[in-house]
Amino acid sequence: MTIEIPGVNVNNGLDLCDGNTDIYLRFLQMYVSNMPKALAKMRNVSEETLHDYTIAVHGVKGISETIAADEIVKTARELEMMSKNGDLAGVLAQNDSFIKRAENLVDCVQGWLKKNNN
CATH number of the domain residue 21 falls in: 1.20.120
Q: Is residue 88 a part of any domain in this protein?
A: yes
Q: What is the mean pLDDT of the chain?
A: 96
pTM for this predicted structure? 0.93
Per-residue pLDDT, 80: 98
d(CA 6, CA 69): 9
The total number of structural domains that make up the chain: 1
Render pLDDT for 2-59 as a digit per residue (tens, 0 to 9): 899 999 999 999 999 999 999 999 999 999 999 999 999 999 999 999 999 999 999 9
| Closest-CA residue to 98 (of 65, 76, 80) | 76
What domain range is 38 assigned to? 10-115
Q: Residue 2: how many CA atoms within 13 Å on its side-chain side?
A: 2
Question: Is residue 32 assigned to a domain?
Answer: yes
